[in-house]
Amino acid sequence: MDVTHACRCCLRGAPDKDLTTPYTHLGKTEIYADLIKQCFDIHLVVGGSGSCGICSMCVGRLRDASDFKLQVQRSQAELQALLVKAEFAVKSELADDGAVDDSVFDSLYAFC
């Protein structure tokens, strides 16, 4: 296969979708060049001669990568909220009686 007309991500498959066209998948709009930039900080040069497309196999892998990134971001936000809550509990307990129950510290550092 001529690589100038192949998928820009794997150079193996024929491109099924354009990288810069908005598509809707499961109610969400996705532009594959933007997803690649968001997930991997890779800016694809589009335009000029050659393909500006992506094959369906790479679209699936890109969606998985994007979903995984969002999962990690959500998990980190949840963990941060738990740590802030635990820190607040420690400060409250110190303010109340000056003594800190070890279980509060255990819960604070159980996620690290």
Which one, of 112, 110, 104, lies nearest residue 86 by Cα?
A: 104
- pLDDT above 70 (res 98): no
pLDDT in tens, 55-95: 999 999 999 999 999 999 999 999 998 888 887 777 776 76
Alpha helices for 11-55 (secondary structure H): 32-40
Residue 42: predicted pLDDT: 96
Which one, of 80, 82, 62, lies nearest residue 72 by Cα?
A: 80
| CATH number of residue 27's parent domain | 3.40.1800.20
Q: Provide the token pair at 104.
A: 């509060």
pLDDT in tens, 27-48: 999 999 999 999 999 999 887 7
Q: How confident is the model at residue 100 (pLDDT cuts 50, 70, 90)?
A: low
Distance (Å, whole) CA 42 – CA 40? 5
Task: Tally Cβ neighbours within 10 Å of residue 51.
Answer: 19
Structural domain that includes position 58: 3-109
Which one, of 6, 72, 59, 1, lies nearest residue 32 by Cα?
A: 59
In angstroms, how far apart are the furthest CA atoms of the chain? 75
Distance (Å, whole) CA 59 – CA 97? 57
The tally of domains found in the chain comes to 1
Q: By the 8 A CB rule, do 98 and 71 touch?
A: no
